[in-house]
């Protein structure tokens, strides 16, 4: 991607929009003077050199690539004519065809970064419409490579599933961490010790999986084969319905993503 491309982010003052901006700037994907960012209430004191506006159509008119980072429930009221430009959505549930129709372009990408974009560790799946060129795809790859890891997937159904699995980002590991923290505190550990223990555990596990490109299943199996304390814990958690609870949660997120696109 040429850093001279003019990138506009509708919702650039928001958390996710700002995380994408920070990652793109840090990676040299875009220069500050080529950024246009919109806000709803007050101009944030961030990203010096970027152009800030509260007029989303003015943003679209200034840019080559328009990234929509607004809540899905706010999207119906978003009036932006893209005039055939590349539009990249990071909104959960909203379909390619609906984005194309509303914003007057055949060049549309639907994507879903997660919270780890803030530290360049997001996993971002995306899918492009038929009118999207290879040059457009290169732009999308560059933006989301800056945020972490990206994959172009084969269908919007895949995006709907990954909305729950990957789009939820740190929420699921954090859910496990909080359950472990609460149990440690109930056992008698101090809250500070319990929190440091579980946070370090999850951070270290993520780093190991990343560096080794390891299979989670292989890691679990290695502990089961050792037949120690970890194997006892894993087997008891599974007997209590751990795997089924995860599957039911992901299924609920998948259904919610589809429902959001029909709202």
pTM of the entire predicted model: 0.87
**Structure token digits, residue 147:** 């945020």
The backbone torsions φ and ψ at residue 176, rounded to the nearest 5 degrees and listed phi first, read -65, -45
Q: Looking at the predicted structure, is the pLDDT value of residue 136 above 70?
A: yes
Scan for tokens 């050792």, then name that residue.
Answer: 226
Residue 263 is predicted with a pLDDT of 62
Mean pLDDT, rounded, for 78-99: 96
Task: Give the burial class of 258: count Cβ atoms within 10 A of its Cβ; 0-12 exposed, 13-18 middle, 19 or more buried.
Answer: middle
What confidence category does residue 1 fall into, taking pLDDT thresholds of 50, 70 and 90?
low
Residue 210 is predicted with a pLDDT of 84
Higher pLDDT, 165 or 261: 165
Q: Under a CB-based contact definition with an 8 Å cutoff, are residues 52 and 171 in contact?
A: no
CATH 3.40.50.720 domain residues, the chain: 7-154
**Structure token digits, residue 39:** 């806000």
Integer Cα distance of 208 and 221 in angstroms: 16
Instruction: State percent of the chain over pLDDT 70.
Output: 99
Query: How distant, in Å, are the alpha carbons of 93, 165, 256 from that of 246?
Result: 21, 10, 15
Query: How many other CB atoms are there within 10 angstroms of residue 25's CB atom?
Result: 18
**139-179: per-residue pLDDT in tens?**
999 999 999 999 999 999 999 999 889 888 888 999 999 99
CATH 1.10.3730.10 domain residues, the chain: 171-262
**96-134: per-residue pLDDT in tens?**
999 999 999 999 999 999 989 999 999 999 999 999 999
Superfamily of domain 7-154: NAD(P)-binding Rossmann-like Domain (3.40.50.720)
Angle, vertex CA 72, rays to CA 68 and CA 78, nearest 5:
55
Which CATH fold topology does 171-262 show? ProC C-terminal domain-like fold (1.10.3730)
3-state secondary structure of 215: coil
**Structure token digits, residue 44:** 């944030």
């Amino acid at each position: 991607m040429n850093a001279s491309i003019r990138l506009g982010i509708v919702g650039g003052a928001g958390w996710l929009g700002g995380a994408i901006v920070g990652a793109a700037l840090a990676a040299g994907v875009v220069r500050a003077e080529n950024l246009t960012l919109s806000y709803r209430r007050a101009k944030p004191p961030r990203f010096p050199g970027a152009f800030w506006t509260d007029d989303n159509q003015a943003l679209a008119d200034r840019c080559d690539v328009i990234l929509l980072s607004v809540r899905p429930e706010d999207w119906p009221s978003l009036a932006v004519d893209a005039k055939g430009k590349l539009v990249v959505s990071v909104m959960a549930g909203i379909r390619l065809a609906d984005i194309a129709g509303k914003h007057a372009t055949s060049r549309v990408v639907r994507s879903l970064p997660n919270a780890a974009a803030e530290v360049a560790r997001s996993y971002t799946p995306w899918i492009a419409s038929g009118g999207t060129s290879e040059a457009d795809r290169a732009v999308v790859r560059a933006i989301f490579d800056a945020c972490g890891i990206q994959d172009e997937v084969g269908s919007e159904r895949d995006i709907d599933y990954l909305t729950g699995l990957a789009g939820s980002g740190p929420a699921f590991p954090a859910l496990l961490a909080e359950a472990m923290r609460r149990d440690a505190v109930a056992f008698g550990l101090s809250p500070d010790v319990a929190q440091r223990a579980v946070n370090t555990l999850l951070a270290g596990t993520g780093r190991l999986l990343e560096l080794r490109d390891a299979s989670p299943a292989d890691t679990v199996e290695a502990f089961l084969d050792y037949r120690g304390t970890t194997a006892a814990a894993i087997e008891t958690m599974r007997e209590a319905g751990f795997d089924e609870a995860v599957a039911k949660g992901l299924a609920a997120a998948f259904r919610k993503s589809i429902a959001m696109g029909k709202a």
